[in-house]
Amino acid sequence: MTNVTAAIAQEEQILFEQTKRKQRYRQFIKGVLFLLPSIVLFSVFLFYPLLRTIYLSFFLTDASGATTVFVGWDNFVTLFQSTIFQQSVKSTFLFVLYTVPLTIIVSLFLAVIANEKLKGIGFFRTIFSSTMGISVAAASVFWLYLFHPTIGFLNIIMEVFGLEKIGWLTDPSWALIAVSATTIWMNIGFTFLILLGGLQSIDKYLYESADVDGAGYFYKLRRITIPMLSPTLFFVVTVTIINAFQTFGQVDILTQGGPQNATNLIVYSIYREAFTNYQFGSASAQAIILFIIILFMTIIQFKLGERKVHYQ
Amino acid sequence: MSYIELKDITKSYHAGNNILEEIDLTIEKGEFFVLVGPSGSGKSTLLRMIAGLEEVTGGILKMDEKIVNHLQPKDRNLSMVFQNYALYPHLSVEQNILFGLKAKKISKTEQQKRLKETAEMMGLSDLLGRKPRQLSGGQRQRVALARSVVSEAPLCLMDEPLSNLDAKLRAQMRVEIRRLQKQLGLTLIYVTHDQVEAMTMGDRIMVLNDGKIQQVGKPITLYNEPANLFVASFIGSPKMNIGRAEIKEAPGLLVNNTLAFSADARLQEALEVHKDIVVGIRPEHIQPATHYEATHSLEVVNVEQLGNETSLALDVGGELWTAKWPGQWEIETGHLLEVYISQEHLSFFDAQTEKLIRPASFSGHGEVQAI
Amino acid sequence: MRIPIGRKVITYLLLILAAFLIFTPTLMAVVMSFMTNQDIMTGSLPSAFSLDNYRRAFEQFPLLHYLINSFLISIIIMIGQLVLASLAAYAFVFLEFKGRDFLFYLFIATMMVPFEASIIPNFHTIRDLGWIDQYTGLTVPFFAMAFGTFLLRQNFKQIPKELREASQIAGMGDVKFYLTVVLPVAKTSLITLGVYGFLTSWNMYLWPLLATTNDNVRTVQIGLRQLQSQEQMNDWGVIMAGAVIVIIPTLILLFLGQKKLQRGLTEGALK
């Protein structure tokens, strides 16, 4: 009798296992189906191109992009020996150095003064965030005028102060600075908006408690605001750095990489190599270098960020 | 007639680490069954396994004589009330109540009929057009109950449904849920961590700790004859006082090196097989020495006046024991207090196995009044 | 707490100064777009108000055509992103299946690959598919979006899982739950993501430059580049009129959705 029930129980157990497995399989199929559109598009337009870029970087190609000769590391070797590419890398890093700290400092300053509860503050916030709504093309056109050698606003001001006119976009020592200024201005909107959001999410009680303790404005700024804002700052720094490495539009409209390649930032260099010179192999090698730099930056950011950032 | 049957049910997320072990249980039709235990005891997991929201790792789950281990929640013909009510925030009260009926494609006229009945029963008729965020906590709770009622499922599962309400409302809803269950003849499985809820609502209670059944029984049985130390201290508020006991030649028994009791031969005999013994005594059994002659005197550490009763913290050999005296008593802290403690009110537990050796012999009989 | 009057004055002064500095380039462009070329070239203050520049921008260039293209492309990308991101976020939050964590890391990994580093094969893909100068070529590559998926995942996670369980007990399937509960409940974050998607698509530059060779599907950004280079930087009034037209839709969208955007982006970015 007990044997019979035990046998039945065993049979049932097997049945359960089967239905369980079937249900899990169905869950799996369902999950994959929900993710399929994204996975397919990522594969076609992200993962495949990445692998293909690596592949291309070891070849010479014809104008249509078909591989012709396998050259191994030659593309990379040539790149590192090329003064133009060295210049491009140098410019890119200088550009990051010019734009990132200034963008953050200016935006943080704006966010702090726009976080006060004052009448009409909404108006100022709108103005400060406005550059986020201005496209690269439009912004570049605005600044193209400001930098204009004769009728440009900046040189008019220089004149007023009795200074010599500057060839903002034609002088190799000024061009990168001019492109950086445009970029900082463009970035302010987004960075400001995110930092303001970060400031607003800081618990008001912290400030009230500091007030009770008699802390001054700058003490609170240094001891509460900045530490509590560190996750947001961390995010903003990462995004700004990555964006800086990906700069293209400003260069294309303002300087086309000139003068004397002073503003030939890496993405512009890739663009020119691939779509003007049709050197897809060499362009791919540059793209791989860009990818590695960004990957490296992200990893460093995360490693450093993990330790230093104060998470709530 | 047994309606729900659990046979050797186990649950584990990782092999060798069981959340629930060897759960054997039957629940009768129309019974109000309470699962109680501290957080992490596995009570919610067990409920969710019955609901079909969690997979059963091992064992057999039967409903109405049929094995349901593999059935989807929707095929188990039950309703469930969640702790956070799980109301759809973008739907009105009416749409919330009808949500399940629509999903089951029940006819429009039937939907409206049931909606009208339920709304009236739950006092929601005037709120049908509102959104959940426009309701008070108690009203939301009622919508959640209505959703369960309207489904007309014979089995209802409730997962800590009252824990988001304030104390007053909770007391009121306890009565309402109990009445609803009787009125509709529902089989109700109710999960709570609150032993008061368990005691006041359940026909039967199962105490769960660490994934193991501690005891199943009627509320009064659990109170009077707790199967082990865990149940003894979990059920009842303030909790049972626990003390370490030693058997002495004469007078017989010494608790916490302070309280001496005489032990008759039968008790001596019963206790002899156990090495270490723990005694327990309910706070109401440390009585004022007014009707009886004082047996012990203890130092008063703290006095809490509750109006209808007085709660005393007493020092018993370095441990704090609680006594609960009906009425109002003017007692000063720091003094010695004369009390009456009868040996008959002591429950005995084995210190190693923590199992009950002998319940308080007095409490089982005579104290429960039947009318 | 009340702010002391001295600090109030200083803050206002700083605010006004900063606002002036930041808004100058935009303001200048707007003013110039209404000035005559004569005034601009001589560097004088505006002597007359004229809409001539706008008229000429529309007459001499297919600006309206570009605008329509940009609208269509931005809206298609926005919808595509919303559909794909919400489906993916649903799977990550409400579905439990083997390999889910792996796929999640895969999504994170996509954020490390800059689009610029993969434009060469992408250009070839589009070309081989015959998608150059097609709406598909300008939109489809941007549908899948890790950032949007994370933002919505964050939001979906705030939907109590009991809602899903209650619907399971009621017998509702995943697709229906996604459509009738999750999407309506997460409406706000969908709007936020939509606004963000529209903004970024409208402002796209490099890809439309590569993927369009004629006016057929050319976007307004590339149109502006065209306008600027063809005019040889002489007719600044017309160029500025074009630029102002380009930024108006995004500025309106930004002003309307600023608060939501701010909250949404911070949430998606930081949790």
pLDDT tens sequence across B189-208: 999 999 999 999 999 999 99
Categorize the per-residue pLDDT at B140 as very low, low, confident or very high, splitting at 50, 70 and 90: very high
A298 contacts A239 by C-beta, under 8 angstroms:
no
Is the pLDDT at A3 greater than 90? The verdict is: no
Confidence of residue B1 (pLDDT cuts 50, 70, 90): low
CB distance B215 to B227 below 8 Å: yes
User: Which positions in chain A touch B70 (Cβ < 8 Å)?
Assistant: 15-16, 19-20, 23
pLDDT band at residue A2 using 50, 70 and 90 as cut-offs: low
**Strand order across the B32-36 sheet:** B78-81, B155-159, B187-192, B32-36, B204-209, B212-217
pLDDT mean over A154-168: 86
pLDDT on residue A54: 94
Gap between the terminal Cα atoms of chain C: 30
Which percentage of chain B shows pLDDT scores above 70?
Answer: 96
Q: Please report whether residue A71 resides in a domain.
A: no
User: In chain C, which residue's Cα lies nearest the Cα of A296?
Assistant: C112
Q: Is residue A74 part of a domain?
A: no
User: Among all residues of chain C, which has the CA nearest to that of B89?
Assistant: C185
- What lies within 8 Å, CB to CB, of B257 at 6+ separation is B246, B317
Which residue of C155, C168, C169 to mutate against B (max B Cβ within 10 Å)? Answer: C169
Give the pLDDT of residue A56. 93
With a CB cutoff of 8 Å and minimum separation 6, the contacts of B331 are: B300, B303, B310, B312, B337
Same structural domain, A140 and A45: no
Q: Is C13 on the interface with B (CB under 8 A)?
A: no
Per-residue pLDDT at A310? 46
First CA to last CA across chain B, in angstroms? 27
CATH architecture of the domain with residue range C60-270: Orthogonal Bundle (1.10)
The reply to whether residue C117 touches residue A153, judged by beta carbons under 8 angstroms, is: no
Given a cut of 60, whether residue C119 has pLDDT beyond it is: yes
- Total of domains in chain A: 2
In this prediction, residue A155 carries a pLDDT of 86
Per the CB < 8 A criterion, the answer to whether B328 and B266 are in contact is no
User: For A59-68, what is the mean pLDDT?
Assistant: 86
Considering only alpha carbons, which residue of chain A is nearest residue B69? A16
d(C-alpha A210, C-alpha A30), whole Å: 52
CB-based contact B67 A9, cutoff 8 Å: no
Which residue of B52, B82, B104 is in closest CB contact with C170?
A: B104
Higher pLDDT, B320 or C228: B320
Q: Is B89 on the interface with C (CB under 8 A)?
A: yes
Question: Do A258 and A175 touch, CB atoms closer than 8 A?
Answer: yes
Please say whether the beta carbons of A41 and C84 come within 8 A.
yes
Residue A77 counted as domain residue: no
Q: Which residues on chain B are in Cβ contact (under 8 Å) with A11?
A: none
Sign of the CA dihedral running A263, A251, C146, A40: negative
Q: Which range is least confidently modeled, A10-14, B2-6, B169-173?
A: A10-14
Does some domain include residue A78? Answer: no
Q: Which of C166, C172, C181 sits opposite B80 (nearest CB)?
A: C166
Q: What is the pLDDT of residue B111?
A: 94
What is the pLDDT averaged over residues B125-141? 92
Average pLDDT over residues A148-152: 85
- For residue A37, with 0-12 CB atoms within 10 Å meaning exposed, 13-18 middle and 19 or more buried, which class applies? middle
Are C261 and A193 a contacting pair at CB < 8 A?
yes
Residue A70 domain-assigned (yes or no): no
Provide the number of CB pairs (under 8 Å) joining chain A to chain C. 283
* CB-based contact B210:B61 (threshold 8 Å): no
Q: What is the CATH number of the domain that holds A285?
A: 1.10.3720.10
Question: Checking phi first, is residue B78 left (phi over 0); if not, alpha (psi -120 to 50) or beta?
Answer: beta
From C168's Cα to the closest Cα of chain B, the distance in A is 6
Tokens of B206: 């199962």
What digits encode the pLDDT tens for the residues B41-64?
999 999 999 999 988 888 889 998
Chain A hits for C115, Cβ within 8 Å: 246
Between A12, A20, A23, which is nearest B60 by CB? A12
Question: Angle A172-200/C236-270 helices, nearest 10 degrees?
Answer: 40
Q: Could you count the other beta carbons within 10 Å of the beta carbon of residue A226?
A: 14
In angstroms, what CA-CA distances link B27 with B64, B67, B189, B202, C30? 10, 15, 9, 12, 78
Instruction: Give the model confidence (pLDDT) of A261-312 as tens digits.
Output: 999 999 999 999 999 999 999 999 999 999 998 888 878 766 766 554 444 3
CA–CA dist B96, B87 (Å, integer):
7
Q: What is the pTM of this model?
A: 0.85
Whether the pLDDT of residue B364 is over 50: the answer is no
Parallel/antiparallel/unpaired status of strands A67-70 and B2-14: unpaired
C184 reaches B (C-beta below 8 A): yes
Residue C1, chain B, CB below 8 Å: the answer is: no
Q: What is the mean pLDDT of chain B?
A: 89
Question: Å from A76 to nearest chain B CA?
Answer: 50
Q: Using one digit for the tens of pLDDT, what is the confidence trace for A113-136?
A: 999 888 889 899 999 999 998 999
CATH topology of domain B229-358: OB fold (Dihydrolipoamide Acetyltransferase, E2P) (2.40.50)
**What does the pLDDT read at residue A162?**
83
**To the nearest whole angstrom, how far is the Cα of C76 from the nearest Cα of chain B?**
27
pLDDT at C82 > cutoff 70:
yes
Contact present, C226 and C208 (Cβ < 8 Å): no
Residues A22 and A93 in one domain: no
Considering chain B, what percentage of its residues have pLDDT values greater than 90? 59
273-302 in chain B: CB under 8 A from chain A: none
Q: What is the mean pLDDT of residues C80-96?
A: 95
Of these ranges, A243-247, C83-87, C151-155, the one predicted with the greatest mean pLDDT is: C83-87
The reply to whether B229-358 shares the fold of B2-224 is no
Whether A13 and A89 map to the same domain: the answer is no
Query: What residue spans define the domains of chain B?
Result: 2-224, 229-358
Q: What is the pLDDT of residue A157?
A: 87
Question: CA C221 to CA A77: how far, in whole Å?
Answer: 37
What ipTM, to 2 d.p.?
Answer: 0.88
Q: Looking at residue B157, what is its pLDDT?
A: 95
At B260 the pLDDT is 83
For the stretch A204-227, pLDDT in tens is 888 888 888 888 888 888 888 888
Chain A nearest-CA distance from C20, in A, is: 9
Average pLDDT value for chain C: 88
Distances (CA, A) of A112 to A12, B196, B282, C23: 67, 52, 62, 18
> Does the pLDDT at position C270 exceed 60?
no
Distance CA A233, CA A311 (A): 11
Architecture of the domain defined by B2-224: 3-Layer(aba) Sandwich (3.40)
Number of Cβ within 10 Å of residue A274's Cβ equals 24
Asked whether residue A7 falls in the same domain as residue A120, the answer is no
Q: How confident is the model at residue B323 (pLDDT cuts 50, 70, 90)?
A: very high
Contacts of C205 in chain A (CB under 8 A): 135-137, 248-249, 252
Q: Which pLDDT band holds residue A1 (cuts at 50, 70, 90)?
A: very low
Res A298: pLDDT: 77
Nearest-CA distance B329 → chain C (Å): 49
**Highest averaged pLDDT of the listed ranges C41-50, C108-117, C210-219:** C210-219
Of the candidates A40, A46, A126, which has its C-beta nearest C110's C-beta? A46
With b meaning 16 or more CB within 10 Å and e meaning fewer, what string describes B32-44?
A: bbbbbbeeebbbb
What's residue C231's pLDDT? 57
Q: Which domain, by its residues, includes A9? A: 2-56
